[in-house]
């Protein structure tokens, strides 16, 4: 048996690939375009594993994807590949429409062609799993209940609008063509291999480099943080037993303000890598993100009730492991923070 993973050289995708290969005997075809966010160093630990077939390519390359389906006959597609950074989507939305919307459309068409060619038994077993985000629901007020699966889509950024559009396509391919799809919506992940343009790895990297720790606006925006391995377990569980056509929320039951997250990172760094003074001295308030969503929170009771999934890691345990991982993997950080990364930092935060 084989599964096709897209975006498996990125943050969550690479964690998923590691977890999948250590938990199953299946072959995994990993299709990734290796954009600035994709990194083969994330997959170094499985180099030489014959069950891992890496293919560099774009999800929008129809001929390539059709060939991969024909050659490997995957029983499932787990679709991570995306442009994923909200700030980049504000600077340049085009790539988000191209990959997240047009690319997902193309992948769905290839998957549909493959699925139609299968025997009735294999068709029943086939799955297309769309990995989506809580951001498609927009922003919550402080006292509002967490997002349930029935909440209307109200995306506010080019990134979240592009993910919402892709989710709608996935839904339509189920209702119109019968393609057996599943969709997961997850909250903010953190953990190993997280690219240091996102808040948590950026703060760790900047703290260690003696640079400012940039906090947008007043820092009181709320996110629901989940350790990446818990997210990967949840996806595997939905793939295994989720009801076709349904969507499942995945979250950490762990709402925190950005300021609390950054302060926690500073406290852990003060302990694990002490220096004169506290890392908190590096905290710097900067201009807010345009259209910045104030609060996200996920109601993840459906996946618990139907599939028995709950996060294993608490924020206290997960964030400590994460900081330790970055301290132990400085060459990885140096490898991904050269060239194009510096250009982005200068463009976005100023010199």
| 105 touches ligand DAU (CB under 6 A) | no
| 106 touches ligand NAD (CB under 6 A) | no
- Separation of alpha carbons 51 and 194, rounded Å: 24
| 99 touches ligand NAD (CB under 6 A) | yes
At its nearest, how many Å lie between ligand DAU and the CB of residue 85? 5
Residues 6+ away with beta carbon under 8 Å from 348: 87, 91
- Separation of alpha carbons 187 and 227, rounded Å: 10
- Separation of alpha carbons 30 and 17, rounded Å: 8
Total residues at interface with ligand DAU (CB under 6 A): 19
| 129 touches ligand DAU (CB under 6 A) | no
- Separation of alpha carbons 201 and 83, rounded Å: 18
| 255 touches ligand NAD (CB under 6 A) | no
Stretch of 42-50, 78-86, 93-101, 175-183 contacting ligand DAU, by CB under 6 A: 78-86
Q: Kind and range of the H or E element at 133?
A: strand 127-133
Measured from the CB atom, is 6 or 263 closer to ligand NAD?
A: 6
Q: Are 227 and 189 in contact (CB under 8 A)?
A: yes
Exactly one of 43, 82, 170, 238 binds ligand NAD (CB under 6 A); that residue is: 82
Exactly one of 68, 107, 215, 234 binds ligand DAU (CB under 6 A); that residue is: 215
Strand ranges for 188-282 from DSSP E: 189-190, 213-216, 222-224, 226-227, 247-250, 255-257
| 38 touches ligand NAD (CB under 6 A) | yes
| 59 touches ligand NAD (CB under 6 A) | yes
- Separation of alpha carbons 229 and 66, rounded Å: 30
Q: Are 7 and 79 in contact (CB under 8 A)?
A: yes
| Residue 190 falls in the annotated catalytic set | no
| Residue 134 falls in the annotated catalytic set | yes
Q: Kind of pairing, strands 181-186 and 189-190? A: unpaired
Query: DSSP string of 302-337?
Result: HHHHHH-------HHHHHHHHHHHHHHTHHHHHHHS
Exactly one of 140, 179, 202, 265 binds ligand DAU (CB under 6 A); that residue is: 202
157-176 footprint of ligand NAD as x/- string (CB under 6 A) = ------x-------------
| 52 touches ligand NAD (CB under 6 A) | no
| 194 touches ligand DAU (CB under 6 A) | no
Q: Catalytic residue numbers?
A: 134-135, 159
- Which chain residues interact with ligand NAD by CB under 6 A? 6-7, 9-13, 32-35, 37-38, 58-60, 80-84, 99, 103, 131, 133, 163, 186, 188-189, 195
């Amino acid at each position: 048996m084989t599964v096709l993973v897209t975006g498996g050289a990125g943050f969550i995708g690479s964690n998923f690939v590691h977890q999948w290969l250590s938990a199953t005997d299946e072959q995994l075809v990993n299709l990734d375009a290796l954009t600035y966010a994709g990194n083969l160093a994330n997959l170094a630990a499985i180099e030489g594993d014959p069950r891992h077939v890496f293919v560099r390519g774009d999800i929008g390359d129809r001929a390539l994807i059709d060939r991969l389906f024909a050659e490997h006959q995957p029983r499932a597609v787990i679709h991570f590949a995306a442009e994923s950074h909200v700030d980049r989507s504000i600077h340049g939305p085009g790539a988000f429409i191209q990959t997240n919307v047009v690319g997902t459309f193309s992948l769905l068409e290839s998957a549909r062609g493959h699925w139609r060619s299968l025997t009735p038994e294999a068709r029943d077993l086939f799955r297309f799993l769309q990995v989506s985000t809580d951001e498609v629901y927009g922003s919550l007020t402080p006292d509002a209940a967490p997002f349930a699966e029935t909440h209307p889509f109200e995306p506010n950024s080019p990134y979240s609008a592009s993910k919402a559009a892709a989710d709608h396509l996935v839904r339509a391919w189920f209702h119109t063509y019968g393609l057996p799809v599943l969709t997961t919506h997850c909250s903010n992940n953190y953990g190993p291999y997280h690219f240091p343009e996102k808040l948590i790895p950026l703060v760790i990297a900047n703290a260690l480099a003696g640079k400012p720790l940039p906090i947008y606006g007043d820092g009181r925006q709320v996110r629901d943080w989940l350790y990446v391995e818990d997210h990967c377990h949840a996806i595997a569980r939905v793939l295994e037993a989720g009801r076709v056509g349904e969507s499942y929320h995945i979250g950490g039951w762990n709402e925190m303000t950005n300021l609390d997250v950054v302060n926690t990172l500073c406290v852990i760094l003060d302990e694990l890598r002490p220096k004169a003074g506290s890392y908190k001295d590096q905290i710097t308030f900067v201009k807010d993100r345009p259209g910045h969503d104030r609060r996200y929170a996920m109601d993840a009771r459906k996946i618990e009730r139907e599939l028995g999934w709950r996060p294993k890691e608490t924020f206290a345990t997960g964030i400590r492991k994460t900081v330790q991982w970055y301290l132990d993997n400085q060459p990885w950080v140096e490898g991904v923070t050269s060239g194009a990364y510096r250009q982005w930092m200068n463009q976005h935060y100023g010199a």
